Amino acid sequence: MSRGAASRGAMSGGAVSEGVATAGASPATDALPFNARGVAAIYKFEMARFRRTLLQSLVAPIVSTALYFVVFGSAIGSRISTVHGVSYGAFIVPGLLMLSVLTESLANASFGIYMPKFTGTIYELLSAPVSSLEIVLGYVGAAVSKSLLLGALILGTASLFVPIRVLHPAWMIAFLVLTSASFSLCGFILGVWARSFEQLQFAPMLVVTPLTFLGGAFYSIDMLPHAWRTVTLFNPIVYLISGFRWSFYGSADVALGVSVASTGAFLALCLALIVWIFRTGYRLKN
Amino acid sequence: MTAALSISRLTKTYASGLQALKDVDLEIPRGEIFALLGPNGAGKTTLINIVCGIVTPSGGRVLADGYDVLRQYRAARRLIGLVPQELSTDMFETVRHTVQYSRELFGCRRDPALLERLLRDLSLWDKRNDRIMTLSGGMKRRVMIAKALAHEPRILFLDEPTAGVDVELRRDMWQLVRGLREREVTIVLTTHYIEEAEEMADRVGVINHGSLILVEEKRRLMKQLGRKELTLHLSEPLRAIPEALSDWRLTLSADGTEIQYRFDSVSEHSDIPALLRRIGELGIGFKDLNTRQSSLEEIFVGLVGRRAAASAERDVALSTEER
């Protein structure tokens, strides 16, 4: 279609998508209301970055997890017989998995969007015909993919140390996907908010990791004194780990429904914040 | 015919309170090369960033080929390419991948033939598999241009494209811009190098303190505002300008060997033949003469300077009234 016709299409009150369909100067530009190629470009770019930093993104978390098994599983586990009828080594697997998935989701997504801000290449993202939803899909999709891959590898590593059974595999996958998606979204928000590498490290180091350690990753909250147990219930990570552990062994610190609702609520909160960020251009467009 | 770019009542006030743009109106027809000049902090980059979607405007409207850059941002942005001022690239990526990424980000299919042509045109083909971090500054600038052209934009913004680049790249860039103009690409250029605007632009806009103070065809601008200077190289030095030449505003060089006559090319009646006749009658011999027209840079400096002086005068008048 000619450019003149393109303009007429848009001017004659056609839908915006019609304008998109014809506006491109090149016949090679398809124009759909959804820029799938743009999303794929961001996703592939992020995955390429992941491949370039495999040592940091994949090997380091796996080595750390293996060390946790050696220290907690073997050294401390030998003094604890079972927890909720599960050997201590096996009991900590869901918590450890969650710890890695949470921190990696947060780190990957936050770094992914922070780096273009830091290097200045954000200009290209903001000037491209990609919607805020598409930008989030690209970055968060890549961060979730990395986290799931990491989760699978950690599960594989754990199975070398302890026998693992998964009673509810569908729930286990659902929890893993929901958690990595929520924390990747949270990481995206963090990356947009951060103005320095120090701020970027703040949430993973000083908020998420302590909360995960105190959220029942290595123990059941039933093992705590009553007062501390009540305090722990204010920690949102407790619900994630509890639900995830239930999918493995069928036992939980809190009811499954509460765990699912908490994860969903966290996801909704992150989504709402991202919508606000793109509507206002907070720390992106001003 | 729809203008390539139509800007009306565009304003931008940053959170800090800085008013970067004040009611800017501008229309740029298709295929034009428009040079936007202005001192640092005048609002050039803010204007470009608003059109490209990088900065949110406080008010006003921008249409790119008839598409509203806010409401129909997909259609509008597909048409626009931007070479920003800063060398912002992903240092760890290869040249080929980063240009490919830009094309796909704009929703275009992969086109290896186009990619090759683009990289060859910009002398980047041999470097296609090199990481950007290994390239020189000039080469990085070429990569930025390749990225901006990867989706075949119809409107190209070049924000200080030749800042800090060598002569060779500057010439290549000018050649590239001329080639794009032949394909009817509209180009908006901001530059500190006035000779660049003088060399390439069809029209010139001057922006200062967020206001577009002038938009004029380059030739007409130079004709209207350009000053001309006639210099006579005398055979014998003079001690002073003779009284008989007082009708013309002449100056004598310190050594008395040159007479200079400055005049506005349009507004002032120069009457050079009469001057030369009179000089001949007075027996003043000259061995050579030449004329020179003021450059766009001198015009620009003069314009901005006059505005600043007028603004200062207004401020003084206001403060006097207040007292």
Q: What is the pLDDT of residues A22-80, one digit of tens each?
A: 333 443 444 458 999 999 999 999 999 899 888 887 888 888 888 887 887 777 777 77
Taking the domains of chain B in order of start, what are their residue ranges? 5-222, 227-293
Q: What is the mean pLDDT of residues B220-249?
A: 84
Q: Tell me the per-residue pLDDT of B12-38, one tens digit each, with 9 for 90 and over.
A: 999 899 999 999 999 999 999 999 988
Cβ atoms of B34 and B202 within 8 Å: the answer is yes
Considering only CB atoms, which chain B residues are within 8 Å of A29?
A: 78, 106-109, 151-152
Per CATH, the number for B5-222 is: 3.40.50.300
Q: How many CB atoms lie within 10 A of CB A52?
A: 12
Q: What is the share, in percent, of chain B residues with pLDDT greater than 90?
A: 53
pLDDT of the residue at A184: 95
Considering only CB atoms, which chain A residues are within 8 Å of B105?
A: 37-38, 41-42, 124-125, 128, 130
pLDDT of the residue at B115: 96
Considering only CB atoms, which chain B residues are within 8 Å of A128?
A: 77, 105-106
> Which residue has better confidence, A9 or B102?
B102
Give yes or no for A5 touching B (CB within 8 A).
no
E strands, A56-150, are 82-83, 86-87
| Cβ separation B67–A23 shorter than 8 A | yes
Cβ atoms of A221 and A253 within 8 Å: the answer is yes
Q: What is the mean pLDDT of residues B120-132?
A: 94
Distance from CA of A129 to the nearest CA of B (A): 4
Give yes or no for A195 touching B (CB within 8 A).
no
Nearest CB to B75 within list A20, A41, A49: A20
Does the structure show a pLDDT above 70 at B1?
Answer: no
pLDDT of the residue at A12: 31
Does the structure show a pLDDT above 70 at B169?
Answer: yes
Nearest CB to B54 within list A20, A32, A123: A123
Q: CA of A116: which chain B residue's CA is closest?
A: B90
Task: For residue B19, give the 3-state DSSP assignment.
Answer: strand
Taking the domains of chain A in order of start, what are their residue ranges? 1-33, 34-280
Give yes or no for B82 touching A (CB within 8 A).
yes
Count of helices and strands (H, E) across chain A: 14, 2
Altogether, the residues listed in chain B come to a count of 323
Question: Judging by beta carbons within 10 Å of its beta carbon (0-12, 13-18, 19+), is residue A253 exposed, middle or buried?
Answer: buried
Distance from CA of A154 to the nearest CA of B (A): 28
B233 sits in which H/E element: strand B227-234
| Cβ separation B101–A41 shorter than 8 A | yes
Q: Which of B104, B180, B185, B188 to mutate to test the interface with A (most CBs of A within 10 A)?
A: B104
Distance from CA of B86 to the nearest CA of A (A): 8
Determine the Cα–Cα distance for residues A117 and A111; give it in Å rounded to an integer. 10
Does the structure show a pLDDT above 80 at B181?
Answer: yes
Nearest CB to A23 within list B78, B84, B108: B78
Determine the Cα–Cα distance for residues A90 and A72; give it in Å rounded to an integer. 11
Q: How many CB atoms lie within 10 A of CB A199?
A: 14
Q: Look up tokens 């697997």; give the residue.
A: A93
Task: For residue B185, give the 3-state DSSP assignment.
Answer: coil
- Mean pLDDT, rounded, of chain B: 87
Determine the Cα–Cα distance for residues B106 and A94; give it in Å rounded to an integer. 41
- pLDDT tens digits, chain A, 286 residues: what are they? 333 333 333 323 222 233 323 333 443 444 458 999 999 999 999 999 899 888 887 888 888 888 887 887 777 777 777 777 888 888 889 998 998 899 889 999 999 999 999 999 999 999 999 998 899 999 999 999 999 999 999 999 888 888 888 999 999 999 999 999 999 999 999 999 999 999 988 888 888 888 888 888 888 888 888 888 888 888 889 999 999 999 999 988 889 999 999 989 999 999 999 989 888 878 877 6
Which tokens belong to B8?
Answer: 């009306």
Q: What is the mean pLDDT of residues B240-260?
A: 90
Q: What is the mean pLDDT of residues B193-209?
A: 86
Least confident of A27-31, B117-121, B164-168, B291-295: A27-31
CA-to-CA separations, A225 to A127, A228, A231, in angstroms, rounded: 55, 6, 10
Determine the Cα–Cα distance for residues A71 and A15; give it in Å rounded to an integer. 62
pLDDT of the residue at A9: 32
Distance from CA of B193 to the nearest CA of A (A): 24
Give yes or no for A281 touching B (CB within 8 A).
yes
pLDDT of the residue at A169: 94
Q: CA of A53: which chain B residue's CA is closest?
A: B92
Does the structure show a pLDDT above 60 at B203?
Answer: yes
Q: Which of A16, A50, A127 to mutate to test the interface with B (most CBs of B within 10 A)?
A: A127
Q: CA of B91: which chain A residue's CA is closest?
A: A119
Give yes or no for A285 touching B (CB within 8 A).
yes
pLDDT of the residue at B321: 60
pLDDT band at B211 (very low <50, low <70, confident <90, very high): very high
Q: Which of A9-23, B107-121, B195-209 has the highest mean pLDDT?
A: B107-121
Which tokens belong to A237?
Answer: 């990570």
Determine the Cα–Cα distance for residues B181 and B199; give it in Å rounded to an integer. 13
Give yes or no for A227 touching B (CB within 8 A).
no
pLDDT of the residue at B232: 92
The half-sphere exposure of A227 on its side-chain side, counting CA atoms within 13 A, is 0
Nearest CB to A28 within list B54, B101, B108: B108
The DSSP code sequence of A81-100 is -EETTEEHHHHHHHHHHHHH
| Cβ separation A127–B52 shorter than 8 A | yes
pLDDT band at B158 (very low <50, low <70, confident <90, very high): very high
Least confident of B21-30, B163-172, B182-191: B163-172
| Cβ separation B54–A31 shorter than 8 A | no
Q: Which of residues 127-156 of B touch A (CB under 8 A)?
A: 147, 151-154
pLDDT of the residue at B322: 56
The DSSP code sequence of B291-321 is EEEPPHHHHHHHHHHHHHHHHHHHHHHHHHH
A66 sits in which H/E element: helix A60-68
Distance from CA of B6 to the nearest CA of A (A): 14
| Cβ separation A3–B55 shorter than 8 A | no
CATH of B227-293, one of 3.30.70.100, 2.70.70.10, 3.30.70.1340, 3.90.1300.10: 3.30.70.100
Phi, psi of A2 (to 5 degrees): -70, 165
Task: For residue A239, give the 3-state DSSP assignment.
Answer: helix
Cβ atoms of A151 and A101 within 8 Å: the answer is yes
CA-to-CA separations, B181 to B81, B162, B163, B171, in angstroms, rounded: 14, 18, 21, 15
